[in-house]
Chains A and B, each alone.
Chain A
Amino acid sequence: MTVQSRFDDSSSGGFSALTGSIEQVRHACALGALASVIAIEGAIPITHCGPGCASKQFQALSSISGYQGGEFHVPSTNIGNKEVIFGGADRLDELIASTLKVMEAELYVVQSGCVPGLVGDDVANVVQAYQRRGVPIVFAETLGYRGTNFTGHETVVRAILDQYVAKLPGPPPETRKGLVNVWSLLPYQNPFWRGDLAEIRRILEGVGLEVNILFGPASEGLSEWRAIPSAELNIVLSPWLGLSIARRLEAAYGQRVLHEPAIPIGARATGAFLKRVGEAVGADLGRVESFIRQEERTYYHYLRDFAQFYAGCTSQYRLPSEVNIVGESAYVLAIAKFFVGDLGVNPGAFVLTENPPESERAAITDAFRDLAPGVDGEPVFEPDGHRARKLIAGRPRIGEYPIVFGSTWEGAVAGEIGAPLVEISYPATDEVVLARSYVGYRGALQLLERTYTTVVRQSTEENPEAALS
C-alpha cells in the first residue's frame, strides 16, 4: 500500500506508538518536519501533498506559536482530484523541474504526505532521476499518518545524511579534533529553539570546541552539514530525539555519542555538562574550567541579587512551591531539573506530550529520577489536553503554591488551580519570541526573569487593592 523509501532502512526510533484521539493538539505530523528543512539555511523543502498540508504545518508551528515567523514559500504539488485518481508522480516531476528553474538552493528535500503514500506514487523513483543528474536533492517519506514532526525530523535528517552528506564528492572525511555535532531541540516546535541553540553553541565554543549546531540563525547552514562526518563526537542533548541519528553516524563514521537527556539550565547543570563534554573529547580541562569559572562569576552575581527577591524581602508574593510542566519531554525534563534541583521547588505533574517511540519511554522516565538528590519526578506520557488538564487539576495538593509551565492550552488549568502560567511549549500564542533562550547560563537567567515576572503580575492582578496601596 505505501511505498517504502529505497534509501530508508528505518533503523530509527521508529514509528511512534498511537494513542487514540487527541484534543488540544501539541505537535504536527511527519510532514511538519519541513520546518526542520526550513531551519537549515540554504535548504528548501519540496512537498508532495494536498494543497493545505505544508502551509498548515508550518504556520501552526511558526506563525502562531511564539510568532517565530520564518520564511515560507514552499513548493507544493497541491494534490487535486486528478493526482488522486491517476497518480501524482508526473506532477511531482513537473514541480521539481520548475522549482529548479525558479528557486535557488544548495539542497532540495522532497517530502511526501498522506495522499502519495495512499495512492502509491513512486516518489523515490522521481527523485532518483534528478540525483543521477547531479542535482542536490533528497527524498524523505514523511507520510502524515506514519508519525509526528519529531519522527519526521529524524526521517528528514537521515535522508540528508544518507543521500546528500554521504554522497559528497571528494576524499573520505578526516576527523577534526574538537569538532562536535549537536542534536537537540526540534526547530520551531520548541518556541525558544533559536536562542537555545545559540546558547548551546556559545557554551561549547567557550570550552574550545568547534560546533555544528546545524539549525537556525546560529548555524552556518549547509557547510556545517557537510562537515558532519568530520566531527569526533555527536552530542545528543535531548531525552530521545536525535539518538537514532547519532547511532547511525556512529555506525557510518565511527563517531562517538554522548547522550545527555537533560538540556542543562543553570550553572550547576551547565558546568557538569561542559565537564562531561570536555572529558569525552579530551579537551583542555584547564580551559573548560576557566570558562566555567568565568560564566559562574557572572551567573552567581545575578543569582545573588535575585536571592533578595526569592527570600521575600521585598514583597509578599506567593512564590511557587510546586512545579507542573506540560510539553515535549526535552523541555519538561530540563525545566524540572532546574526548578526542583536548583530552585528547591517540589515536583508536580510532568506531562510529556510528543508521543515518543515506545522503545525510548523507559529511559525517558528514568531521566526524571533524582531531579534533586532523592527527589524523583513521575512523568506521564499524555498527548491529550483534556487528560493533561485532569492530571494537573486532580493532583492532591496541601499547602502548595503551584506554578504551571506549558502551552496556551494550559491557561484553563492554570486558572482552575490559581497558578501562574509560563508558556514554554507549543502552542505558545501569548509569547512573542525572538532570540530569547531558557537554557545554559544566560538562558537560565531569562527563564527566572520570565517566571517571576509572571508570578508578580499574577499576584498584582489578583490583588488590585494591594497593588494600589
Chain B
Amino acid sequence: MAINLRTPQAETRDQRLGTITQWEGSAEELARDSAFTYGCGRDCGPGGRRLCELSSPYSQASMCAEQIAVTNATIIKDTVVIQHAPIGCASSQSFTSRYSRDLAARRGWKPEDPKTICTNLSERDMVFGGVDRLADAIREAFERHNPRVIFVATSCATGVIGDDVDGTARQLEEEIGIPVVPLHCEGFKSRHWSSGWDVIEHGILRRLVPNRLNEKRDDLLNVIHLGGPDVFSPLVNPLGLKVNLVMGGSSLERLADLSTAAATVTMCFVLSYLANGLEQEYGVPEIRAPLPYGLDATDNWLRDIARVTKREDRVEAVIASERVRIEPELERLRKALKGRRGFVAAGAAFAHGLIADLRELGVTVDDAFSFHHDPSTDSRDPQQDSLGHLVQETGDIAHFTVSPDQHFQAHAALKRANPNFVLCRHSGSMAILAGRMGIPVLPIFYSNDGLGYEGLLTIGRAILRVLPRRRFYQDVAAHSRFPYQQWWLDETNPYALAADDAA
C-alpha cells in the first residue's frame, strides 16, 4: 500500500499498519495472528484469529509522538524547531540539550546547543488562536539563527483548537524564503509514540529530499538509524559501499543525497517509513532482509545488500573474514554467559533484534516486553515480519508482552521471568524498575550497539560489565518498596487487570 505524501499529515501507524500496544501471549501466537490480520505472508496456517488488542482500565503515563518527532528534528543540523505548544511540551529540551552534545561528541561534530523555540501558548491563545505567535516565532528563529530549514511541531493543544499551522508555514515560507516544514505530531492522535518517527520522516520525504535521480551513485547506501556512532561503515565499506547515515542526527546534505543512493537499509523496521517512501518516490530499493542481529541474519543481510547493489562477488569474503575475526571473543562471551536468563524490553523490531543477539550469545530468553507491535510494515513484504522470522529461526518466546512501557505491567512480567539481567531501551521506566527489583540492567542508549558481528561482542561485553552490579541493586531493592497493593506486587500476569475487567 502506498504511503500518501500529498498531505502534510502522515497517516498514523495505527491506521496504516494496525499497530497495537496491548497484548499478552506467546511470540508464536502473536506472529501467526499478525499474519492473519494483514494478509498471510509466511507460513501461517489456517486457524489464526483477528489480532485483538487487550484493554487495561489502569494505565500509566508513557510517551508521545511529539517527543520523538521533535527530538529527531532537533538533531538535524542547521535547522530550528518551533514547538507550537504550551510550555510543558518543551520540557524535553532539557533532554535534547544533553543529547545533542553527547551525539556531537560521538560523531565528531562541534558541540552545539539544540535550537528549539517554544511558542509558549497561553490561555488567551487557546481562545483566540496561536497562529500570530507562531508567525512571530518563525521570524524570530530566522533572525536569531539564520537556519536553512525551520520545522514547526504541533501539540495536543494546537490540534484541539485547530490552528492553521500549514497555512502559516506556507505564508512564512514565502516571506523568509526557506522551507518551513510542519510536523503534525499531536500526542493524542496515535496510540503509540513511534508514530513520531513517521511524522519526521514524512516531513523529510515531502520537503528535504530533492529529486536527483540523474546523479545516481551506485556505491552509496542510505542507512536509517535511531542515533549513535556509525557502526555501519566498517560493515559495508569492504563491499565498496559508502554509508549515507540519516536520522539520529544528520546534516541536510545527507538528507539531500537520499534520492541518489543505490539502496536503503533501516536498522529497525519501525523506521522504515522513510525507506519505503524513497523506494516509492525515487525507486531507491529498500533492503528488506531480516535485520542484522545474530550471525546468520547478518550474513544474509550483507548478501542482500550485495545482491541489490551488485557486489555479490565480494560479499562471501567479507562474511568469512568477519566471522573469523570475532570468533575467539564470541566464544569467550558465550562461555561467560552460558546458562544466564535474559529479559528484553524494547520497541517491536528492535526488541526482536536484541532477543536474536542474546540467543546467539547463548543466553536463554523466554520473556520479552515490546512497547508496541506492528502486525505489518508499509511494504507488506513478509521478509520484514521480524517477529515471525525470530520465532522461525530461534524458537518461540513463551511470554511475550506488548505494553506501552507500563511500569505496573513490567513489574508483573519481571516477577514472572525472574531473569539474571534485563536488556532494554534506555528511556522510560524499565531500566530503573529492573534495578529497583534487584536485577542488573543494561539500557541501550545508542541503539546501534547490537548490530552486526561487532554488535554481538558489544552487547556481550556490556552485559558482563553490569552483572556484578546485582550487589548494588539487591541492596536497594531490599530497602525500598513500590506503592502497589500487595496483590499486585504478587501478580505475575501483566494483564491480570484486563482479564479481571472482562470477567
Contact = CB atoms under 8 A, between A and B. Distances in A.
Is chain B a partner of chain A in the same complex? yes
A31 B90 CA distance: 13
Interface string B204-245: 000000000000000000000000000000000000000000
A75 B122 contact: no
B361 interface: no
A80 B119 contact: no
Interface of chain B, main secondary structure: helix
B117 A61 contact: no
A83 B188 contact: yes
B160 A60 contact: no
Given A50-B188, A51-B64, A148 B432 contact: no
A53 B407 contact: no
B89 A24 contact: no
Given A50-B64, A102-B485, A103-B484, A25 B93 contact: yes
A343 B86 CA distance: 40
A25 B90 contact: yes
Nearest to B187: A50
Contacts of A97: 57
B157 A114 contact: yes
Contact of B88 (A31, A72, A386): A31
A326 interface: no
Contacts, number: 228
A164 interface: no
Contact of B97 (A30, A101, A408): A408
A99 B188 contact: no
A427 B193 CA distance: 24
Residue of A29, A31, A54 with most chain B CB atoms under a 10 A cut-off: A29
B135 to A, nearest CB: 11
B178 interface: no
Interface string A37-73: 0000000100100111111111111001100010111
A47 B61 contact: yes
Nearest to B116: A23
A98 to B, nearest CB: 4
Contacts of A411: 113
A101 B485 contact: yes
Contact of B95 (A54, A60, A115): A60
A84 B193 CA distance: 17
Nearest to A74: B61
A145 B126 contact: yes
A29 B86 CA distance: 7
A102 B61 contact: no
Contact of A148 (B60, B87, B191): B87
A145 B157 contact: yes
Given A52-B193, A84-B160, A95-B57, A21 B95 contact: no
A114 B86 CA distance: 8
Contacts of B87: 22, 25, 27-29, 144, 148
Interface residues of A, number: 76
B94 A102 contact: no
Contacts of A114: 86, 88, 155-157, 160
B119 A21 contact: yes
Interface string A391-412: 0000000000000000011011
Contacts of A426: 94
A1 B127 contact: yes
A119 B113 contact: no
Contact of A79 (B118, B156, B429): B156
Nearest to B144: A386
A53 B116 CA distance: 18
A78 interface: yes
Given A60-B94, A102-B408, A409-B97, A2 B188 contact: no
Given A22-B117, A57-B88, A114-B86, A98 B57 contact: yes
17 contacts: A2-B126, A19-B120, A23-B144, A28-B87, A73-B483, A76-B61, A79-B156, A83-B188, A84-B188, A98-B56, A102-B497, A103-B483, A103-B484, A115-B160, A144-B87, A146-B123, A386-B144
Interface of B: 56-67, 82, 86-95, 97-98, 113, 115-127, 133, 136-137, 140, 144, 155-157, 159-161, 187-189, 191, 193, 404, 407-408, 428-429, 432, 482-485, 488, 497
